[in-house]
Amino acid sequence: MVNEEGGTEPGQFRREALFDRMDAIGKCILGLTIQRAQFHSHKYNPLMHDESYRLFAFLNNADEAKVSVYTAEDAQLRQVVIDEIRAIEDKLMASNPEWQSRMASWERDVRGNQPQ
C-alpha cells in the first residue's frame, strides 16, 4: 500500500507480518491452512473465522523481543568488545568535557537547516 506521500504505513506491515506468522504457525505447528479462515468460515475447514482472529489477537499482543543466544566463547568475546567500546567512549567523554553542549549545538544547527 502506498499513501499520498509515496511512503509506507507501518501498521500495514505489522498486520502483514502477523498474518505471515499465523500462516507459519498454522502450517508448521497445527497442520492447518489458516489463510482461508482469515476471510470467512468454511464448513470443511477445522479453523473458523473467529478462531483465526483469536490467533491474530494473541500474536498481536505477544512481545516481539529478540533473543540472542551465544556460546560461552562468543559471550566472552562479546563482553570483551563491549568493554572495549565502553572504555573508548569513556576516554572520549573525559577528553571532551563539553561534548554534551557541543552535541546540543550541533542538533540545533541541524534542525534549523531542515526545509520547512
Per-domain residue ranges of the chain: 10-60, 72-112
Cβ partners under 8 Å of residue 112, min gap 6: none
Cβ partners under 8 Å of residue 88, min gap 6: none
Cα 47 to Cα 34: distance, rounded to the nearest angstrom: 7
Q: What is the pTM of this model?
A: 0.38
Tell me the mean pLDDT in the region 61-72.
76
Residue 116 has pLDDT above 70, yes or no: no
pLDDT digits (tens, 9 = 90+) for 4-44: 556 667 777 778 888 888 887 777 777 666 766 666 676 76
Cα 60 to Cα 18: distance, rounded to the nearest angstrom: 7
Report H helices in the chain: 10-24, 35-39, 49-60, 72-95, 99-112
- Whether 45 and 59 have beta carbons less than 8 Å apart is answered as no
